Amino acid sequence: HLFYYSFRFNWVKAFLNKRINAILDKATAFDSEKHKELRERSEKVVSEVLANIHSEKYKQIGDL
């Protein structure tokens, strides 16, 4: 609820808008090598998360 309440204030919206635009500007300036690096890091993180979810799921089933 705090998030929605804070959006009543224009300065909060302006601040977040400025930050998001800065992040997007930085991301659009990446070259293909940086995109490749980020893609590899993302694949690694996603596979680790999925492996953890999978092992936790079967661990909970074993606890039943």
Shared domain check, 24 and 37: no
- Give tens-digit pLDDT for 3-43: 888 889 999 999 999 999 999 999 999 999 999 999 999 99
Q: State how far the Cα of 43 lies from the Cα of 35, in Å rounded to an integer.
A: 12
DSSP notation for 1-64: -HHHHHTTSHHHHHHHHHHHHHHHHHHHT--HHHHHHHHHHHHHHHHHHHHHHHHHHHHHHHH-
* 26 and 39 share one domain: no
Q: Above 70 in pLDDT, residue 62? A: no
13: Cβ contacts below 8 Å, ≥ 6 apart: 7
Same domain, 4 and 16: yes
Total domain count, the chain: 2
Residues 64 and 38 in one domain: yes
22 plus 39 within the same structural domain: no
Check whether residue 50 and residue 63 sit in a common domain. Answer: yes
Asked if 30 contacts 38 with a C-beta cutoff of 8 angstroms, the reply is yes
Residue span of the structural domain in which 61 resides: 32-64
pTM given for the model: 0.51
Q: Are residues 25 and 47 in the same domain?
A: no
